[in-house]
Amino acid sequence: MFPKLAISSLSALVLCSIGALRAADDWPRKYEDFEGAKLIWPYTYDDGTSKIKMTVSEDAAHGGKKSLCFEVNTKGAGEWGAGGGCAPSDKKGGIDVTGATKITFWIKTEKKISLGVAIKEGNAPGRSELNEEWKLGVHEIEGKAEWQQVKLDLDKATIKKITGNGKMDLGNISNVDFFFSLGIEATKVYVDDIAFEK
Ligand SMILES: [Ca+2]
């Protein structure tokens, strides 16, 4: 009885290990596809004059039926613009993308926009070295009727402010942030299929 149990346990252990190995090689790794029922930790911010509203929309999708929709207007007398983002919905607020070299997402905008992208390390209580934010530059996106893919190199990121170890820790990424610079007339910008690549 005991040897048989031991063999079963061993088999289970081996199967678990194979599963873990497969998961570790599973690239690209999805951050968010917006197909879930709701956003986790959604937020927006603005300069007091610029307008931004962020929702999950079924009006457009790159994959599935839904995408993230920003209704943006930064054409007013604002000082710097507006932005927003959310945590991934299926990984308890953070995703392990250790080993990733790129972030990629799809965007649909009928008007040309200047888009800033940033990622935030997840909050790790008592470990301030793991809470830093990384800016991935500001990018000109042409206005088009079609979806466009954006792919950004993580090694070109600059740290917003050194509050910890000053290194990019990809073990628990809890935010992908989209920032809209000044000069965007009222428009809708759709984002979908945010993922990290090796
Ligand atoms: Ca989608």
Q: Ligand 1 centroid vs 95 CA: distance in angstroms?
A: 18
Q: pTM for the whole thing?
A: 0.85
Q: Ligand 1 centroid vs 118 CA: distance in angstroms?
A: 20
Q: Ligand 1 centroid vs 68 CA: distance in angstroms?
A: 8
Residue-level length of the chain: 198
Q: For position 78, what pLDDT does the model report?
A: 86
Q: Ligand 1 centroid vs 141 CA: distance in angstroms?
A: 20
Q: For position 85, what pLDDT does the model report?
A: 96
Q: Ligand 1 centroid vs 48 CA: distance in angstroms?
A: 30
Q: Ligand 1 centroid vs 193 CA: distance in angstroms?
A: 6
Q: Ligand 1 centroid vs 123 CA: distance in angstroms?
A: 26
Task: Set out the domains of the chain in order of their start, with CATH numbers.
Answer: 27-197 (2.60.120.430)
Q: Ligand 1 centroid vs 88 CA: distance in angstroms?
A: 13
Q: Ligand 1 centroid vs 106 CA: distance in angstroms?
A: 10
Q: Ligand 1 centroid vs 89 CA: distance in angstroms?
A: 13
Q: For position 93, what pLDDT does the model report?
A: 74
Average pLDDT, the chain: 87
Q: Which pLDDT tens digit goes with each residue over 150-183?
A: 999 999 999 998 888 889 999 989 999 999 999 9
AA letter at 42 = P
